[in-house]
Amino acid sequence: MTEETSLPPVTQVGMVSLALIVAGGIYLSSHIPGDVSLMPAVILLVLSALLLALNFLALARVKNFRWKRFFDVAKWSFLAYLVIAGLIEYAFVRNDVTGGTLVVLTLSLLIFAIHVPMMIGFTVARYD
């Protein structure tokens, strides 16, 4: 594997990304069922998605990384987090969240369901 100093800060960037979507989700959820401006949550969502993309790019450039271990762990974590995100989505739909609010919350859940397994897989592969 690569030396510790040559690995990108995947976990740190992932945590910032998750903090952004959680902040956006809390903002939107605190205004349900009333009207709310989507702009703050959309900005946080876009920033979080940008960090996710940058994290993928940084990780893809790592040479001699234990990719097999990464994918072995990340795929099962992704399945678990997809179920979790689906249950949360169900709660939003069941409680009559609609329109732009539902779209932003759904996309936030998608980032959550991708980024957490990526961080888990990275951490396991890093110390394998």
**Residue-wise pLDDT tens digits, 12-51:** 999 999 999 999 999 988 887 778 899 999 999 999 999 9
**CB contact at 8 A, 73 and 121:** yes
Task: Provide, rounded to the nearest whole percent, the portion of the chain with pLDDT above 70.
Answer: 96
Over residues 51-78, the mean pLDDT reads 94
Characterise 74 by phi-psi region: left (phi > 0), alpha (psi -120 to 50), beta (else): alpha
Q: Which of 104, 112, 126, 49 is nearest to 77 (CA)?
A: 112
**pLDDT over 60 (residue 68):** yes
User: pLDDT value at position 32?
Assistant: 79
Enumerate residues 6+ apart whose C-beta is below 8 A from 18. Answer: 48, 111, 112, 115, 116
**pLDDT over 80 (residue 118):** yes
Number of helices (H), then strands (E), belonging to the chain: the values are 4, 0
Task: Provide, rounded to the nearest whole percent, the portion of the chain with pLDDT above 90.
Answer: 78
Over residues 112-118, the mean pLDDT reads 96
Q: Which of 51, 50, 41 is nearest to 21 (CA)?
A: 41
